[in-house]
Amino acid sequence: MTLGELISPVTALLRLITSFYGRQSARPHKRLEGSILLRGIVAEVPEELPFFLCDIDGNRHRGIYVIGMLIWNKGTQPVTQADILPSAPLQVTVDPDSTFVNAQIIPIEDQTDCSATVISPTTLRLDFDCINPNEYLIVPIYYTGNPMTKVQITGRIIGQEYSIDHTAAEVKAAFFERLTVLAILLMLLNTIPGLLVAGGYILHDYGLGTMWHDPNSIPTYLMIPFAMGVMTSAMFIISRIIFWFERKKYPEGYPLYGDLEPPLFENIKGMLRTVLKGEKYRVSTSLFDWGKPILLTAKKTKRRTIDDWIR
């Protein structure tokens, strides 16, 4: 049997799969999705300072944060305001630990008529005249309270079978992020074995002279772990030296940013949860809890159930 005869069934199966998905995507459908692009800190004022942050209504706040939200029509049909049920309008809600301050909508098409209205401290309503296929809206949402508050998008569109709320993607680490964290984790875990075990075998079997003058004669399975261990150790030692010199510039006990960083084992624990469970691990940059490790709360994408059809 030739190579072409072996590959032919595989290529035929791939063509069948691609043609199936091609027909599925070409079928007219509505698919309006809302997702979170980013979270950020606009401004924070600690209680010890003698001033506040004020919004346009005169309300005082200690911290203002922003969520960048994307409303994107990924379908093949336009979505208009008439497609949204009056009983289930397009809304954005947050947990009671946060309060909306203001919001605005930036359309990709300048002629799009759209608005964002705060109808309650935790509810924001989005209105638009029409979003054509592949058009989108950027919605900066300003709020106060918990910077990592839970966000939910609700609403029902006539003829749409997909869920609007895709904010769960924010808390799920992507494949390449998990792969990158795995590589960093393996490099950290290799530090001591690479230096002691691989380095010991190299010194015992080949000697320091061979490693220095003829490293190509040393097997790769010994040289790579040893080199990675040396590199990781050098990075750690250099960072500690820099931190020591930085510490010498200030009086003893003076707080530095390095003092607020989470310990190494806390970072390793967070990276393990990212690799194994897909949980996003972040370190807070807020003035109120700088350096605090944050594991974004797990959240599942809403799926259709029988309750959506039987009332």
pLDDT of amino acid 234:
92
Distances (CA, A) of 73 to 105, 127, 151, 264: 15, 14, 20, 43
Which of 75, 57, 55, 74 shows the shortest CA–CA distance to 66? Answer: 55
pLDDT > 90: percent of the chain: 32
Alpha-carbon gap, residue 38 to 216, rounded angstroms: 47
Cα Rg, the chain, nearest whole Å: 27
Alpha-carbon gap, residue 132 to 76, rounded angstroms: 8
Residue 306 has pLDDT above 50, yes or no: no
Percent helix, percent strand, percent coil in the chain, to nearest 5: 40, 25, 35
Kindly report, residue by residue over 152-182, the tens digit of the pLDDT.
Answer: 999 999 988 888 888 877 777 778 888 998 9
Beta-strand ranges (E) seen in 74-128 are: 79-80, 91-94, 98-103, 106-107, 114-120, 123-128
Kindly report, residue by residue over 101-147, the tens digit of the pLDDT.
Answer: 999 999 998 899 999 999 999 999 999 999 999 999 999 999 999 88
pLDDT of amino acid 305:
45
- CATH code for the domain defined by 29-169: 2.60.40
The model's pTM: 0.70
Mean pLDDT of 68-81: 92
In single-letter form, the type of residue at position 32 comes to L
Bridge partners of residue 65, in order along the sequence: 41, 143
Mean pLDDT of 62-78: 92
Residue 161 in contact with residue 100, Cβ under 8 Å?
A: no
Place of tokens 């058009």: 135
Alpha-carbon gap, residue 48 to 298, rounded angstroms: 34
Kindly report, residue by residue over 215-272, the tens digit of the pLDDT.
Answer: 888 888 888 899 999 999 999 899 889 988 988 888 887 877 777 777 778 888 888 8
Which of 1-5, 40-44, 200-204, 225-229 comes out lowest in average pLDDT?
1-5
Alpha-carbon gap, residue 308 to 85, rounded angstroms: 14
Looking at the chain, list the stretches that DSSP marks H as alpha helix, in order from N- to C-terminal side.
Answer: 3-26, 175-189, 191-193, 199-205, 207-213, 220-248, 264-277
DSSP code of 168? G
- The domains of the chain are located at 29-169, 175-295
Chain mean position to CA 58? 33
